[in-house]
Structure formats: structure tokens, C-alpha cells
Chain A
Amino acid sequence: MKLLTAVVQQHKVDEVRNSLAELGVRGMTIADVQGYGRQRGHTEIYRGAEYEVDVVEKTRIEVLVDDTDADAVLRAVVSSARSGRVGDGKVWVTPVESVVRVRTGETGDQAV
């Protein structure tokens, strides 16, 4: 099993969800997050004072997938989250040791 974590632009979430739904992905975790990468922050002027805004808001999406599906899901996330502009975000894939479905106690691929 793999855990796919994507940090994407907030307004791309719906597109990502739709593309994964087409692949049969049945669940995900979505969170509003703040941070920065190469895009860094920006300077804002508010009421005449200049503010350094070091972090920007993004959305983090986490999806558990079978090993065999990982590549397809990764490609779907990347293509649906891409606008081509700075700040499109990142996706990474990590191996998962075990998964348990709380209600039934099912483990492994059964629980994904």
C-alpha cells in the first residue's frame, strides 16, 4: 500500500477529487494548510503598512492506494492539479506498513 500526499492550490481540489473518483478512489482526507516552497511568500500592503506574508494557503489531500494503483493515481493528481503557474504544489508517495478499518478490523488492501 502507498500513501499519496498532495499539497495543491485550494481551487484545484474539486478537479483533483473528480479525476480520482473516475479512477475509482473511494476516500481521501482533505485539510486546509499553510506553508511555503519555492514560491515563498509575498509582500502585501494593508492600511499603508507593508506586510511580509511568508506562507500561503494550500490544501493537502491524502489518499491511500494499492501498490498497483499508485502510479495511475499519482498521474491523475498531477494532471488535474496543474495550472502551469508558480504555486501548483507537490505530490509525494510513501510506503504504508499497515492499515486497519476501524469498524470491521479488516487489514491491508481490504481496508483501503
Chain B
Amino acid sequence: MNSGDTAWVLVCAALVMLMTPGLALFYGGMVRSRGVLNMLMMSLASLGLVGVLWVLYGYSGAFGSDLGGVGLLGSPLEFFGLSRLVGAEDTSDTIPTFAFVAFQAMFAILTVALISGAVADRARFGPWVLFAGLWASLVYFPVAHWVFAFDTTNESGEITAVGGWIANRLAAIDFAGGTAVHINAGAAALALVLVLGPRTGWPRGTGKPHNLPLVVLGAGLLWFGWFGFNAGSALTAGTTAAVVFVNTLVGASAAMLAWMLVERVRHGKPTTLGAVSGIVAGLVAITPACSAVTPLGAIAIGAAAGAGCALAVELKSRLRFDDSLDVVGVHLVGGLIGTLLVGFFASESAPAGVAGIFYGGGADQLWRQAVGAVAVFVYSLVLSWLIAWLLQRTIGFRLDERGEHVGIDETEHAETGYHFGDAGSTLRGSAAGERGSVEELEGSVR
């Protein structure tokens, strides 16, 4: 057991946890003021529900013994409730299994929350929570197994336990979740947009972001947490983590510059929303690649993602998809860019030690990346569409039009995000409330 590694992974788990409230603020500031609380609540719901599901059977489904040795799913009940892990001998000789359980839990929570940005202002809260649970169980836990569960080998190199097919048989490089997290969530977002349809009045009359400083605060928390997300995925506090850390910084930096440049050229002014969207696009794209490229490669991938996503988010108006907060345009597109560019920019001198096309490696890695990306995209899109469609057909997923008009915060949560002045709102039976009821007031006016 290595105390340095253990401390690093536990701290990184906490960093990744902070990304979900950060994401909530990032998304919350982007909607109109009457929907800010629902936006926050969709992320909070994931912290609640997926946190519990992860402990019950999620960890086991993703990292339990492979069912049938084909790399599709872990045995979901093997570590049910983690009971068998308490007091058991740790399989890794560097960190406790529970540190890994905690770290990966935050990934599951965040991935579900990412989807919510696509359905701003129009998804009923109860069905959203159901969707979150079903999606985590049927889509995320299996895909996390495909991508994050590595074979266990003994000293002579024989496989003692089979892991996921993308990580091992295919050997696609996805260091921290370009496929499992971002393509996965982006594809699910696209499915939800298809099932739920656009907001009433979209694209006219759905409002600009109501609080951009909140969006910047959220983006800052995301970037901060992302160092845990990527560098923590090394699962050890050493050179790999440090290289990944620098790549995570510079990938996002380059992407922000690229996005602002695209805006400057196309629309004349760089915007705050563009800058923070660029940050996230760069972080998304560098996520799969951060262990496989040099810092110069990270700059190239970040810039490609910043420019690519800036152009991609403009497509939604033309294609008539109300991907409200650009989950598809940033996470799906950014995830694809990062995952595929590994095939070009991977350098043998980077920690992953694989050469891509630009470093004399040929196209071998590129097709592995493409197969992994397409597999996750198709699986997530189809399953997500089915889950959402079933919910819409049975209990109704979409908020009714009147609820949308009044505002989803009021309709679904009986709250409003901003309450300026409290004219006329008094606690019944309190001293203030006894000053007089409306009826008495009206009587005195007459």
C-alpha cells in the first residue's frame, strides 16, 4: 500500500465530486431565470441517486468479475452494497479498493448530470430521476466496464481476470473517459432531444443565459475538478499524473483561445459564454488523450476541439435540435475529436507509449479509437432513446406547455431562484402575518 498514491486518489475523488455542483452552476446560469433551480436539481439528483446506485450495484456492474469473459458487463451482484469488499484484502498493491470505488463513483455521478443540459426547462423532474437511474444502470455501468475495467494479470503476464472489451481486446486509448463519459453523455443528450423535442417557442423566446457570472463560476469549478478527473485517473501520484495535469491545463487553454478566435472571425466579438464553452470543449477532448500526447499534442487537440465545437454548436439551429446547453455540440463532438485525434497525435514518449499517425505509428491506433467511439455512441444513443421513449409513453417525460410558460422551477419545485423583495409574502401566524390579511387590506382600501 502506498500512502502517497492513496492520498492522491482520495483527494482526486473529492475534486471530481466538486465537478457535479460546478456543472450544475455552469448549466444553471445558462438557462432563463425561471428554470435555474430545476437545472441545479437535475445535477443534484444524480449526486443522490447515482451515489446510492453505485454503492448498491454500480461498482459491481462496472468492476465486478466479467460475465462470460466477453468484456461486456461485470457481475452486478458480486459486490452488492460493497459488503464483500469491507475487510477484504485489497487487490491493488498501491491503493485501497475503496479509494478506487470512491473515485469511479464520481465519474458515474458526473456523466449522468452532464446529460441534463440538453433538456433545459422542459423535463419533468420525477421522470428525469427515473431516467437517471435507468440510464446509469443500463448504459453507464456497462460502458464503464468496457472502458475502465482492465484485465488483471499475474506476474508471468497471464490474465487472471478479464476486463472490458474496449480497454483490453480493442486496446483503444481512453485515459479518463472521452468515450465512457463524454461520447456516452453526448449521445444520450441527443436521444433526449429527439424524444422530448424543443422548448416551446424555441429558438425564439427561450431566452439568453440569465447569469453568466454563475456560468463562469461553474466552469472554474469544472476545470479545477478536471485535474482530479484526468490526473487522478493515473491512480498513482507520479510522472503520468504530472504529465496529464499539464496536458489538461494546456488543452483547455488552447481550446478557449480557439473558440474565441472562431467567434471573433465569424461574429466580430469573443463572448464570455464562448470562452467558457471553449474551456469545457478542450477539457472534454483532452480527457481521452491526456496520457498519450505531449503538451504540444495537447495544444493541437485542444485547439481542434475549441474550433470544432464552436462551429458544431451553430449547427443545432440549422438542424432544428434544441440541444439547449450544447451537450451534443461540446461533449459528443469534443469527445469524438479527442478520441479520434489520439490516433494522430499519440506520441511514444508520452506515458501511454503509443505512436499515432503523426509520430510514425501508422493507422493502427486510429481504427481502434474509431471503433471504440462508434460503439459507445451507437449503444448509448439507442438505449437512451428507448429509455426516454418508454418514459414519455408511459408516465410522460415532457412538461406540459402551461408548466413551461409559468416556469419549471415553480411547476416542479414550487420555488423560484431569485426572490427580490418579499412584498406580500408572510408566514401565516407570525407577527408580521397578523398585521392583516388581504381581505382586510382590501376592505380598508374601500
> Are A52 and B405 in contact, with the CB atoms below 8 A?
no
Asked if B414 is at the interface (CB within 8 A of a chain A CB), the reply is yes
19 CB-based A-B contacts, threshold 8 Å:
A34-B421, A34-B424, A36-B424, A41-B424, A49-B428, A50-B427, A50-B429, A51-B428, A52-B424, A52-B427, A52-B428, A52-B433, A52-B437, A52-B438, A53-B424, A54-B423, A54-B424, A55-B423, A55-B424
- Nearest-neighbour CB distance to chain B for A27, whole angstroms, equals 19
Asked if B443 is at the interface (CB within 8 A of a chain A CB), the reply is no
Asked if A109 is at the interface (CB within 8 A of a chain B CB), the reply is no
> Are B425 and A53 in contact, with the CB atoms below 8 A?
yes
Q: Complex formed: what's the CA distance from A46 to B422 in Å?
A: 15
B427 contacts which of A34, A36, A40, A51 (Cβ < 8 Å)? A51
Chain B residue at minimal CB-CB distance from A49: B427
A51 contacts which of B421, B425, B438 (Cβ < 8 Å)? B425
Chain B residue at minimal CB-CB distance from A57: B416
- Nearest-neighbour CB distance to chain A for B426, whole angstroms, equals 5
Given A51-B426, A52-B433, A55-B423, residue A36 in contact with residue B438 (CB < 8 A):
yes
Given A14-B205, A52-B437, residue A43 in contact with residue B428 (CB < 8 A):
yes
Shortest Cβ-Cβ A-B pairs, 3 listed: A54-B424, A11-B405, A55-B424
Chain B residue at minimal CB-CB distance from A38: B442
Asked if B201 is at the interface (CB within 8 A of a chain A CB), the reply is yes
Restricting to B329-379, which residues have a CB under 8 Å from any CB of A? none
Asked if B406 is at the interface (CB within 8 A of a chain A CB), the reply is yes
List residues of chain A with CB within 8 A of the CB of B421: 34
Asked if B441 is at the interface (CB within 8 A of a chain A CB), the reply is yes
List residues of chain A with CB within 8 A of the CB of B428: 43, 49-52
Asked if A44 is at the interface (CB within 8 A of a chain B CB), the reply is yes
> Are B414 and A44 in contact, with the CB atoms below 8 A?
yes
B contacts, CB < 8 Å to A: 201, 205, 405-406, 414-415, 421, 423-429, 433, 437-439, 441-442
- Nearest-neighbour CB distance to chain B for A68, whole angstroms, equals 31
List residues of chain B with CB within 8 A of the CB of A14: 201, 205
List residues of chain A with CB within 8 A of the CB of B405: 10-11
- Nearest-neighbour CB distance to chain A for B443, whole angstroms, equals 12
Q: Complex formed: what's the CA distance from A49 to B438 in Å?
A: 19
A side interface size, CB within 8 A: 17
> Are B433 and A34 in contact, with the CB atoms below 8 A?
no
Q: Complex formed: what's the CA distance from A43 to B438 in Å?
A: 11
Q: Complex formed: what's the CA distance from A40 to B421 in Å?
A: 18
Given A11-B406, A52-B433, residue A40 in contact with residue B423 (CB < 8 A):
no
Q: Complex formed: what's the CA distance from A54 to B426 in Å?
A: 8
List residues of chain B with CB within 8 A of the CB of A49: 427-428
Chain B residue at minimal CB-CB distance from A36: B438
Contact string, A8-51, partner B, CB cutoff 8 A, digits 1/0?
00110010000000000000000000101000110110100111
List residues of chain B with CB within 8 A of the CB of A11: 405-406
List residues of chain A with CB within 8 A of the CB of B433: 52
Q: Complex formed: what's the CA distance from A11 to B414 in Å?
A: 17
> Are A52 and B201 in contact, with the CB atoms below 8 A?
no
Chain B residue at minimal CB-CB distance from A32: B420
Chain A residue at minimal CB-CB distance from B439: A40
List residues of chain A with CB within 8 A of the CB of B439: 40
List residues of chain A with CB within 8 A of the CB of B425: 51-55
List residues of chain A with CB within 8 A of the CB of B437: 52, 54
Q: Complex formed: what's the CA distance from A92 to B162 in Å?
A: 77
List residues of chain B with CB within 8 A of the CB of A55: 423-425
List residues of chain A with CB within 8 A of the CB of B438: 36, 40-41, 52, 54
Q: Complex formed: what's the CA distance from A64 to B426 in Å?
A: 37
Kindly name the residue among A49, A51, A52 whose own CB sees the greatest number of chain B CB atoms within 10 A: A52
List residues of chain B with CB within 8 A of the CB of A50: 427-429
Chain A residue at minimal CB-CB distance from B402: A11
Chain A residue at minimal CB-CB distance from B406: A11
Q: Complex formed: what's the CA distance from A51 to B437 in Å?
A: 12
- Nearest-neighbour CB distance to chain B for A6, whole angstroms, equals 17
- Nearest-neighbour CB distance to chain A for B416, whole angstroms, equals 9
